[in-house]
Amino acid sequence: MSFFNADPTLVKERQYYQTTTENDQTLATRNMTDSHPYTGLDAGSGNTWHMGSTVMDSCWYPFMNSADPASSCYLTACRDKPIHLWNFEPASELNEDGSGYRCDTANTKTGAGTDKNTSIPTSRCSYRCYNQYDEVETVQAISFNSTGDKIYACTKNLIRIFDVNTPGRECTAIPTIRFKKDPMGMFKGLISSVVFNPDPSMKVYSCGTYSNSVAVYVEGSKESVLMLADVPTGCGITCQRWNPNGNHLWVGGRHSNDIICYDLRTTRGELGRVSRKLDTNQRLTFDLDPWGKYLITGSQDGEVLVYDAIDFSLQHRIVDDTHGMDCTNSVTCHPHSALLCVATGQRSVDCDSDDDSEDDDKEGTESDRMNITPAAPGASAKASKSSGLHLLEIGAEKLGCPAESSAA
């Protein structure tokens, strides 16, 4: 797990609204800068550590505030390990040489001090998912609910609900099928994502599976209220996003060029779709701007695409040649500033080999089966040299900041 600090000055400068108070009246002005350079993220020294196994999913506490230690926490789900709720210990200030952020932390339980540039993660508690063999089961997707008092953990054919205040194995189980070969069980398989409706009053959440099905549930109910079967999203659903109005659900999958929008008030057909390039099984995530006017997604050829979420037309295509043509695999909008967090990189194999043709054919077959992109000469055998995390400055008008909105 790695944590990065965005420049607070940059975040403030790129706010959608700059507010000033005059005569008890709040005035709002928009930041209309139309540049989109890539900027780096400062990694605080000591804010990276090994989790012991593959990290399957992670999420922040929904009301997280780094100034409030009680709310500074996040969840992680690792392969064959329990769910852990971790304390987040933010970096306090810049080092004197400007190389990173100082983390003034100490292990108060043992009394052992730490170096000024190191941080020791501490786990508050853990939540355990056991299968029928009394073994810890790998959780594929986790999420807090909208109110932050429940944890939803998704595995194969099962949704477990933990009370945040009750660590351990006690939970409420919601099976998605009645028995193993249930002929009526359309919603079955590994649950790959769980997303809550942004309107907390609705108490609605959706789950997607690798069998291309989506089920919508209401908190407190063990039966789905809506089912979307055989969603045409390639080889499994990997990302979902709710529109801020709570009525539209965007669904995307691996090995699929399409991101489909459904209006859940009428499910006779899709509302529309947008496209990006993706012909591998790599997970690509997308995001909506805070008003739900624009959808922003990456693509396999390294582009960032901005679509109008109303008429599904392409508004902007952003390409940065300095980072090569690596896959832009994740895009996330800042909640109140005109900034995007963009992750790039893909697994690659070296095509230059002295093996005979038989070995070459075998290697090519294996690469095709694993959906691994052949690397250019000189590239790494595991990941390309331009892999990383970047901040993308983009004009507020590109992110759907409506002119009629106010600061309130």
Q: What is the pLDDT of residue 68?
A: 87
Minimal CA–CA distance to 190: which of 159, 153, 156? 156
Query: What does the DSSP 8-state code read for residue 138?
Result: P
Strand partners, 113: 106
Contact 151, 127 (CB under 8 A): yes
Q: What is the pLDDT of residue 357?
A: 43
Cα–Cα–Cα angle for 242, 338, 270, nearest 5°?
Answer: 25
Q: What is the pLDDT of residue 328?
A: 87
Q: How far apart are the first and last CA of the chain?
A: 36
Q: What is the pLDDT of residue 181?
A: 67
Report the predicted TM-score, pTM, of the whole model to 2 decimal places.
0.79
Q: Hey, how many other C-beta atoms are within 10 angstroms of the C-beta on 174?
A: 19
Query: What does the DSSP 8-state code read for residue 67?
Result: T
Q: What is the pLDDT of residue 321?
A: 63
Query: What does the DSSP 8-state code read for residue 15?
Result: B
* Identity of the amino acid at 374: P
Q: Hey, how many other C-beta atoms are within 10 angstroms of the C-beta on 150?
A: 18
Place of tokens 């797990």: 1
In the numeric block, which tokens belong to residue 231? 């969603």
* Identity of the amino acid at 78: C
Strand partners, 83: 77, 127
Strand partners, 153: 142, 160
Contact 148, 183 (CB under 8 A): no
Q: What is the pLDDT of residue 322?
A: 57
Q: What is the pLDDT of residue 38?
A: 56
Question: Would you give per-residue pLDDT tens digits along the chain (408 residues)?
Answer: 888 877 788 888 888 765 444 443 333 333 433 445 555 565 544 477 788 899 999 999 999 888 888 899 999 999 999 999 999 876 544 444 444 444 443 333 333 333 444 456 789 999 999 988 899 999 999 999 999 999 999 999 999 999 999 999 999 999 988 776 665 566 888 999 999 998 888 899 999 999 999 999 999 988 888 888 888 888 899 999 999 888 899 999 999 999 999 998 877 678 999 999 998 888 899 999 888 889 999 998 888 899 999 999 998 888 766 555 678 888 998 888 888 888 888 776 655 544 444 444 443 333 333 344 444 444 434 444 456 777 777 765 566 555 444 333
Minimal CA–CA distance to 202: which of 189, 221, 228? 221
Minimal CA–CA distance to 192: which of 176, 170, 180? 176
- How far is residue 241's CA from residue 249's CA, in Å, rounded to a whole number? 6
Decide: residue 346, CB within 10 A, 0-12 exposed, 13-18 middle, 19+ buried. Answer: buried
